[in-house]
Structure 1
Amino acid sequence: MCAAGIGGTFQYGYNLTIINAPTMHIQKFINQTWLERSGFQLDVQVLTLLWSIIVSVYPLGGLLGALLAGPMAIRLGRKKSLLFNNLFIILSAILCGFSRSAKSFEMIVLGRVLAGVNSGISMNIQPMYLGESAPKKQRGTVTMSSAAFTALGLVLGQIVGLREILGSEECWPFLLASNVVPGILQLLSLPFLPESPRYLLIDLKDNNSCICALQRLRGHSDLGTEMEEMLAEQEATRGQRPKGLCELIQEPTLRRQLLTIVVLSSAMQLCGNDSMYFYASSIFQEAGIPSEKIQYVVIGTGSCELITSITCTIFIDRLGRRALVMGGYSLMSVWAVVFMVALSQQGHVSWMPYLSMVCIFAYILSFGIGPGLYIAAGNRIK
């Protein structure tokens, strides 16, 4: 089952990180390209605008991918959708990798859109595939492994983006194209895994293929109890068709669940975790860490999220998703208040920058306990 994680949410965390490493090099490339085309350099405001577009089109592509994920999962199936999804990341790598040779920063913009589409699709379909293929007792743990792969991608993106590896001026196109590696790994490994048994039975009505898939996944033929549960689910959904967004909103029986998902998803996006990553370098500099060493310390922020995601994956089935989400947000609230006080007193108290550093790590750890697990698990609350 790791193939889906390697090529799925792994890329989400990886793509979030690699664009931040060679910022100055890409901005310099944009300026030089414009100078060769027009004969004059860009204004700082225009250069900032173009850079902002490069950064912001990634989540825009993610929105498009999320909208495509539902129809793809139904029409192609979970496995084929994940395999087809790698086409977007391969095209993205080609565009970004050859952008400097082609002297086109527009290729980077389009490549980032395609990378976002890839992440949007995989972040929705991959937890679905894992959850539907896992045994009932291990479903929470297996589904939550998405969070661990996301955090792992974040850490590896930080490592690969180091100046000594691919974060230099000469290698930044290879850095932007390196997200193709997990896609290739998935293309090589996922074909050897079966399709989701629930998709085969409930969507395709193919009992024989479902039994074969379960036997390959479980390694035994004692499937009576599990088949009874899926047959009962099939019977309960008989005659129903997948609902569109407008139909979901208008369905009274689903309104509370939909509201829960919207509130929690909005809270996850507005909680400020990405801001912690963004301001980490400046906070570390205020604490007196040498500029050339900050890039190594920043890796610790991603490592915090990786540690908590792995740890909470072990306890998810015992504690439940709701307890972890509420606990994570509660801790984040406490550390946010402490962080605000520490920032306001940084110029007056000598040890406050160190407290700010502690708050950054503690905040990211708290995020990994709950909100990070929630979004990686496909918005499922227990």
Structure 2
Amino acid sequence: MKFISNPLKITEDRSTPSEVYNWKVYIFGLILGLSSLEIGYDSGFIGGSVALDSFRRDFKLDEMSSSDSSFIISNIVSVFHAGCFFGSIFSYPLTFNYGRKIGLIGSSIIMAIGAIIMLISSKDRGLGPMYVGRTLTGLGVGASTSIVPVYLAECSPGPIRGRISSMYEIGWRIGDTVGFFISYGVDSTISSSTKQWFIPFSIQLIPAGLYLIGVFYLRESPRWLYSQDRQSEALKNLTWMRNLDSNHEYIKWEISNIKSELEYEKTHTGQGFFDPFLKILKSKILLRKLFISCSLYILQNLYGIQSINYFSPVFFKQIGVKGTNSSLFSTGMFGIVKLIATLFWSLFIVEQYGRRTTVLTCAPICAICFYYIGGYVKFNSGGASAKAALGMLYIWTFFFIVSLSGTPYIFSAEIISDTTIRGGFQVINSMFLWLSVFLMTRFTTNMIESMSYGIFFFFATWAVLTIPFVYFLMPETRGISLEYMDRLFQYKAWKAHKLVLNEIQEESKLDQFERLYEIEANEKNNSNYIETKSDETAKL
């Protein structure tokens, strides 16, 4: 079948040496995927861990009313996302002044410190250290979600940018799958004691520690180094990343593009701290890009993914899965479906079928699934309908993951070619991401109590609204180099990709023709020079 014939097929906008697609760029993706492993693990383990009887007993949640305990649990979950929101803001001055790598190192240190502080919580000390630790970990995670997409966009070759960025999404899904099954495992095998909930919390140190070690291997972004006029270091890093000699034509082409961009940016944007934000506010095309990318992050959460991630035991109980252990197992299967879907997306979808097409294809399926589940919960017929509802949830999960899960991260990072505003642009995106996650996780339990089955209709309706939004506003970006992204937004979204690809190919042919003409002209001049010299020698 053509659909699965070549998962490693690369779509190029111009001829690219094979050396460019080397193991180093994949190692970058793997290391940065460790930061998302921490995020994923948190979304996987926290909902199941705070539902454990041992946790509820140690922190006296079992002595509270249902509404009071729900309020405490919502706070434990959501302070992490509040930290993420502020972390995304604080990342900007770090990367602006000190570079992408220093920002990543700083985020990894804060993340690890927060994971350690959480472990100080106990039935005697209360939840204070838990709140502080989760807030700090959130600060580190929020900073990394702002910096990682920028770093990958600047360092990854255009034709495989989506594939490298998908490793971030894979790390996220591995983390939440492990987190789900850790909660299930401790509930199944460990007696109801402090150790039962302490183990899932302590495992956070593993991805945080690995990420902290890994970021020291990374090289600073050549684009950022050129923007700081550190040209020799930038050239060294670029040739190392591309695995090519500094005299190679591809390196010369990439350097020429970077320098011409920077020259334009210095003239039209400025180099001040607030200049990027001022330029965004003054530019219609940048505001359009910002509106689309921020909306994708918001829509991602309005689909319901974070609500289900963090409160999956509650949702599975609503569908009809009985018992804490059974609910945790179903949650683990939910994680496995997400992981399989993410691998499928990264291998077969993201670079072969792009961003726009998959969202448009999968949105109606996601809507149908949740409309069915909402109807089932309303009438609660049980039996085969209950199994079908559970199946629909897993189907929804698969189609959500291969469409709107990773797309906002890739899209928001790759549509900005201007190095001077990319960091500020991504900060705003991250703020909207974490604000929407915070609001959804903070009020999910309230929505379930007040809306019941209606919460599924709420999620489904947003999936329907995604279709016209993406069709009319979001252009396809697959295979387009950063330098040509602005052109996509000069055309109607539904035909922009084809038109821009045609333009690039025509320009590439023209460049080749001009180079051949230049070579022939040089050869002719050299030939004339030799003939003239020969004539002069003969006269002598």
2:73 equivalent in structure 1: 51
**Within 2, Cα distance between the matches of 1:129 and 1:81?**
10
Stretches of structure 1 that go unaligned for 5 or more consecutive residues are 36-40
Counterpart of 1:127? 149
Residue in structure 2 matched with residue 258 of structure 1 by the alignment: 290
1:327 matched to 2:352? The reply is no
Identity %, equivalent residues: 18
Shift in Å at residue 373 of structure 1? 0.9
Counterpart CA distance in 2 for 1:229 and 1:194 is 20
Structure 2 residue 392 is matched with structure 1 residue 359: yes
Mark the CA change 1:163 to 1:312 in structure 2 (over 3 Å): closer, same or farther.
Answer: closer
What is the RMSD of the two structures over their aligned residues, measured on CA atoms?
Answer: 2.7
Quote the residue 1:220 is aligned against: 244
1:283, 1:356 within 8 Å by CA — same for their partners in 2?
A: no
User: Which sections of structure 2, spanning at least 5 residues, go unmatched?
Assistant: 1-27, 416-476, 478-540
The count of aligned residue pairs is 373
Residues 328, 368 of structure 1: 8 Å contact kept: no
Alpha-carbon distance in structure 2 between the residues aligned to 1:288 and 1:14: 23
How big is the shift at 1:107? 0.7
What is the identity, as a one-letter code, of the residue corresponding to 1:333?
Answer: A
Partner residue of 1:7 out of 31, 34, 54: 34
Distance 2:278 2:193 in 1: 48
Which segment drifts farther, 265-274 or 327-336? 327-336
1:229 aligned to 245, 251, 257, which one?
A: 257
Residue type at the aligned position of 1:342: Y
Give the direction of change, closer, same or farther, for the CA distance of 1:290–1:176 in structure 2 (3 Å limit). closer
Contact kept, 8 Å, 2:114 with 2:136, in 1: the verdict is yes
Q: Say if 2:55 is the partner of 1:26.
A: yes
In 2, Cα distance between equivalents of 1:378 and 1:97: 37
Q: For 2:378, which of 344, 347, 360 is the aligned residue?
A: 344
Maintained 8 Å contact 1:147/1:309: yes
Tell me if structure 2 keeps the 8 A contact 1:89–1:114. Answer: yes
2:410 paired residue number:
377
Q: TM-score, normalised by structure 2?
A: 0.63
Deviates more, 1:177-186 or 1:355-364: 177-186
Structure 1 segment 23-172 matched on structure 2, within 5 A:
23=50, 24=52, 25-31=54-60, 44-100=66-122, 103-164=125-186, 169-171=193-195, 172=197
> Which residue in the other structure is 1:188 paired with?
213
Using the TM superposition, give the Cα deviation of residue 325 of structure 1 relative to its aligned residue in structure 2, in angstroms: 2.6
- Per-residue deviation at 1:152? 1.3
Give the corresponding residue for 1:38. Answer: none
In structure 2, the CA distance between the partners of 1:283 and 1:196, relative to structure 1 (3 Å rule), is: same
Q: What is the CA–CA distance in structure 1 between the aligned matches of 2:88 and 2:102, rounded to whole Å? A: 16
Report the alpha carbon displacement of residue 42 of structure 1 after superposing the two structures with TM: 5.0
- Cα 1:120–1:86, aligned 2, differ >3 Å: closer, same or farther? same
**Which amino acid letter does the alignment assign opposite residue 266 of structure 1?**
I
User: How far did 1:358 drift?
Assistant: 0.9
Tell me, in whole angstroms, the C-alpha distance in 1 between the residues paired with 2:277 and 2:289.
13
Check 1:185–1:88 CA distance in 2 against 1; reply closer, same or farther (3 A cut). Answer: same
Which one is further off, 357-366 or 16-25?
A: 16-25
CA distance in 2, matches of 1:167, 1:281: 22
Of 338, 343, 351, which residue of structure 2 is paired with 1:317? 351
Spell out, residue by residue over 1:256-286, the C-alpha distance to the aligned partner (whole angstroms, 9 max, x if none): 1122123222211211123444356654786
Q: Which moved more, 1:277-286 or 1:300-309?
A: 277-286
Whether contact under 8 Å (1:3, 1:189) holds in the other structure is no
The equivalent residue for 1:267 is 299
Note the C-alpha offset of 1:30: 2.0
Find the structure with the greater CA-based Rg: 2
* 159-168 vs 327-336, which moves further: 159-168
State the alpha-carbon separation in 2 of the partners of residues 46 and 308 from structure 1: 37
State whether residues 149 and 165 of structure 2, in contact with CA within 8 Å, keep that contact through their aligned partners in structure 1: yes
Following superposition, the deviation at residue 183 of structure 1 comes to 2.1
Question: Is contact 1:141–1:317 with CA below 8 Å preserved after alignment?
Answer: yes
